[in-house]
Chains A and B, each alone.
Chain A
Amino acid sequence: MSEKGDMFYAWTKSADIKGECGGAVISLLKYALEQKIVDVVLTVRKGYDVYDPLPVFITDPAELASCAGSLHCGTFLLPKLIKKYLNGAKDIKVAITVKGCDVKALYELAKRQQINMDNVLSIGLNCGGSVSPTVARKMIEEKYGIDPDDVVKEEIDKGQFIVMTKDGQHKGIKIDELEEEGVGRRANCQRCETKIPRQADLACGNWGVFGEKAGKATFVEICSAKGASVFDGAVNNGAIDICGPDPKGLEIRGKIETVMIKMGKKAQKSQFDELQEGRDRLTTIMNYSSRCIACRACIENCPICYCVECSTLKPHLIDQTKTPPDFMFHLIRFAHIADSCVNCGQCQELCPAEIPNALFMHAQQVELEKMFGHTPGVDMTLPVLAYAEEPEERRRLNDTGSDMIFENVFRE
């Protein structure tokens, strides 16, 4: 019987599963689906090519084998799909693979009653960052001198982004070097400090797989009782085989994580410094925001945005006929979200007007964390704004007949 904090090397016992490193993740998902522990698996599969990972909703266990392998161009966020298309897992059991930003989004949605965590099995995947497909192709063409269409596989190893071509050519370039030239991982990934997603039920990856198991097993850390039960079940059922981790491997895994977190902090400092401070920072934010076309892609894709009645759509707050909208549009987003921003980067990556929204939001989040002590996405602790059940709270406020926040919220 395993328990929270236990660590293993694990690998598949099925000959049909060709995982990235031992196939343990696919086997665990397959086991969960076959045993009806979950009804659907939400994960990622290669689409047209290695630059085109696509979310998939799998109900047939046989289909899971096709999802094996990691794809660093997968820049999207999965948990909001549970809210949008699976009714927040309120009446369906879902297994989901999660990177650091995914699992943090999962918690923030759960805090706001948008996802029922009791029905979610989350399998964490170590993540050193992702590269937008368009950037990856440009970078491979210009910095690697390789036709991006010839690349059949890519990986991140020992600080390098490595590509393999169809005729067996390997080429790696240091990520530091790429990022200094403005390519490489997304800016929010560069700032990220969640490398091993321990908030998930299981945290899996290849960091720390050392010795004879290198490349043949997955490092699994048990992170919850639910994770332990599924993991033990998969072992007992013969889906996966396990052994204890090499002590040297443990040390290596720890080192990788520490180094990457340091890099994240360093990137935060340099990116936030560039935003300047005080009035200058506000001016920068206002200038960029004046490009806004009010398409609402940021709202649509934000894991914190969930309101039934969005304040940015209220004509007394925002003139709905103006493009660009008044700065109030962005102020409302900052006020509502900044304390809980998980730095997933969606609002920036998907902004047609190229506004660095995630940078602005994340920069505010770290300040608010210092002030109010709320760290988003690590556990189920609520930020002030998530205490209320929206429809009930709106009803309560309406019934008071006053729009005074002090009267309504703070007076006993």
Chain B
Amino acid sequence: MSAARAQILSRVHAALSPLPQRASLPAWDRELLGRRGTPQATDPWTLFAERMKAVNGLPCATVEELVALLEGPGWRHGYCDPVLWPGLRPAFPAGFVVETEFDRMRIDDYQFGITAATGAIAETGTLILSDGGSSRRLAALAPWVHVAVVRREDIFADLHAALAAMPVDPNVIWVTGPSKTADVEGILIEGVHGPGVQIALLAAT
């Protein structure tokens, strides 16, 4: 393949060398992405929760709220990140089966998966997951319900701020609402390959 490399680079060089000048790289300021109008709320969680609802996500301010959300439709079997579970466990009543190991051979057994979020983005109602901060990629994706636990101080104002503070991690994923498609006649369907229900839980301080 090194022959191909040399060939491509020499073609690129030949294509560009006749140009009398090259387009310069414009500098730009994040103000350019400024919002029309000013947002109402100033608390980062309130702002984030508002935006998350706009993309059909479910923000939960307390564990009790989360438990009620899971109990309603009967989602009682799930996975939880072993680091988070001791803190959440007291709020979960008997009848819940929560595993702290995720077995990829039976991904459909888990109705929900609870993992940590590395952060969130208020502008778009986005959750940030990373290899270092979130225990299992599959546990956040395969169950019908994903719960991401986010700390208030990790909520960024906008995309630009989140990009400027990208963690040193081989894999970071931004999740904005439940998995969805409009491939069939443009009709919105949620829960295609990933979760049909995306929840954010505000971590207790």
- Report whether chain A binds chain B: no
Residues of A at the B interface (CB closer than 8 Å) are none
